Amino acid sequence: MRHKLAAGNWKMNGLSGDLAEIEALIAAHPAPKVEMLICPPATLLSRMADTVGDHPLHLGGQDCHAAPDGANTGDISAAMLVDAGARYVILGHSERRTDHGETDAVVKAKAEAARTEGLVSVICVGETLAEREAGETLGLVGRQLAGSLPDAPIAADVVIAYEPVWAIGTGKAPTSDQIAEVHGFLRAEIKRHMGVEGDGVRILYGGSVKAGNAAEIFAIPDVDGALVGGASLTAGDFSPIVTALENA
């Protein structure tokens, strides 16, 4: 049984005042039936952990460095994320792959650093529109998966997020058939790499998930939850997505 996961990526959004959204989210879901995760900017992690207190809402970072420490100005280590209250870390988001030139090898090194510190990596894969139109989607996400997984992964180490780049922040989600095709392919590839252990790896869909389309997306086989950007910033937008996953 895979425990469903509703994850929010706040990206470069959120100041102290936005901790009120976490208070509201917790109040709306005092005993959630699915796992909830919010990945705020690193500046808010520690204070958000205080806000969360004993509630089962998990927190995560949005990136970490592959090295444990050292002369890496502006970067954050996996141990620092744990120290600030994180249990997860998003790795290889398309914005990091594009804006920061992160390769699969870099993502893999970060996933290994995260595992060393006990963090669960949410490893993102996904094609651009040009790659989809060229019929390269499955080959591309298969290569990203193979290149980004840590060595000898176990299900507890990783979550995979399928995030088509063309669907992120655009309001254009793929069709259910398109999501089903990629998630089915990823499940088979994960099992090819990990054997039966791969049955326990959660595969999230990400890209323009909102209250209006969440139930339809969560009904697709091998969709174990969502990674949500814009609609995770307020409790009012994120809470109905959590409820849809609880009811899926």
User: Which sequence positions are flagged as catalytic?
Assistant: 93, 163
Residue closer to ligand PEP by CB (options 44, 227) is: 227
Residue closer to ligand PEP by CB (options 150, 229) is: 229
Nearest residue to ligand PEP by CB is: 229
Residue closer to ligand PEP by CB (options 60, 194) is: 60
169 near ligand PEP (CB under 6 A): yes
208 near ligand PEP (CB under 6 A): yes
Number of CB atoms found within 10 A of residue 131's CB: 17
Rounded Cα gap, residues 82 and 90, in angstroms: 13
Residues 6+ apart with CB under 8 A from 139: none
* DSSP string covering 19-39: HHHHHHHHHH-SS-SSEEEEE
Listed ranges 136-144, 189-197, 224-232, 238-246: which one lies at the site for ligand PEP (CB under 6 A)? 224-232
160 near ligand PEP (CB under 6 A): no
157 near ligand PEP (CB under 6 A): no
User: In the block, which residue shows the tokens 């595992």?
Assistant: 115
User: In the block, which residue shows the tokens 């058939």?
Assistant: 177
Residues 6+ apart with CB under 8 A from 118: 82
- By rule CB under 6 A, what count of residues binds ligand PEP? 13
37 near ligand PEP (CB under 6 A): no
Which of these, 152, 70, 73, lies nearest to 116 by C-alpha position? 152
Give the three-class secondary structure for 124: strand
Residue closer to ligand PEP by CB (options 5, 227) is: 227
Conformational region of residue 208, where left means phi above 0, alpha means psi within -120 to 50, and beta covers everything else:
left
Residues of this chain, 128-147, that bind ligand PEP according to CB under 6 A: none
The correct pick among 150, 229, 235, 245 for binding ligand PEP (CB under 6 A) is: 229
Q: Residues in the site for ligand PEP, rule: CB under 6 A?
A: 9, 163, 168-169, 206-209, 227-231
